[in-house]
Amino acid sequence: MSRPYRPNLATATLLALLAAGLAACSTGGPQLPNLFGPSQPAAPEQPAPVPTLPPAFPPQDLVGRWGLAAYHKEEDRARIETAAAGQCKQPYVITLGPTGGVMMHLADQATPSELRLKGAPGGKTYIGPEGEPGGMQDRLVESFDGRILILRWMDPEVQSRYGTMVYVRCAPEGAKRGAHVGAKAKPKPKPKPKPKPKPKTAPPLQPTQPPVQQPAPPPKQ
């Protein structure tokens, strides 16, 4: 005759704790501590990568000679644009890189490196090394009209030291000083109309002497 199965005390205690835990979960009561060790914390959600879009203009538009200056206060922008134009005697030269980027300097870099033009949502364009747009080594294109380029550093510490960069395109070599590519030519002044000739007037009539009347001869006798 077989004996009935009787769990030992440890097994019975474990089964009782599990049953109590299941009952607490179903009734919303306090849960018992995890008997199998601490649970692993959930991994933090990673931010979605910023998609790289086509830039607002091609790299070829930046090739050329530029006068360079910088400002820290927005009210100084107009004055600094004029100062940058005066730096064309020692221009900053931008060329195309070997793989289609542009050769420019990064912050605190003695030699230029090939940088990319990276578009981003919202119509933004960044200039920087390979990677997602808006990185700490990138510069945001605040404005570009073909003649004046405004760049702001994304790294706040670098921006506080260098300020907002202003590039003003220089005239082609050999052109007259003060002329800039993309600048509107001043319209030529219209020639002044020639004064109309005064109409010729007839000379005033001279007063004529009335004829002297000769006395009539006396009648013949």
Domains of the chain by residue range: 65-169
Farthest CA pair distance, the chain: 215
The residue assigned the tokens 């001043």 is 186
- How confident is the model over 130-146, as pLDDT tens digits? 999 999 999 999 999 99
Bridge partners of residue 6, in order along the sequence: none
Taking CA atoms, 203 is separated from 152, 200, 206, in Å, by 80, 9, 9
Tokens describing residue 70: 């910088």
With vertex at residue 145, the alpha carbon angle to CA 54 and CA 85, rounded to the nearest 5 degrees, is 130
Put simply, whether the predicted model's pTM sits higher than 0.85 gets the answer: no
Tokens describing residue 131: 């990677």
How far does CA 70 lie from the centroid of its chain? 14
CB 33 within 8 A of CB 39: no
Tokens describing residue 58: 């091609």
- How confident is the model over 14-64, as pLDDT tens digits? 556 555 555 555 555 455 455 555 556 666 666 667 788 999 999 999 999
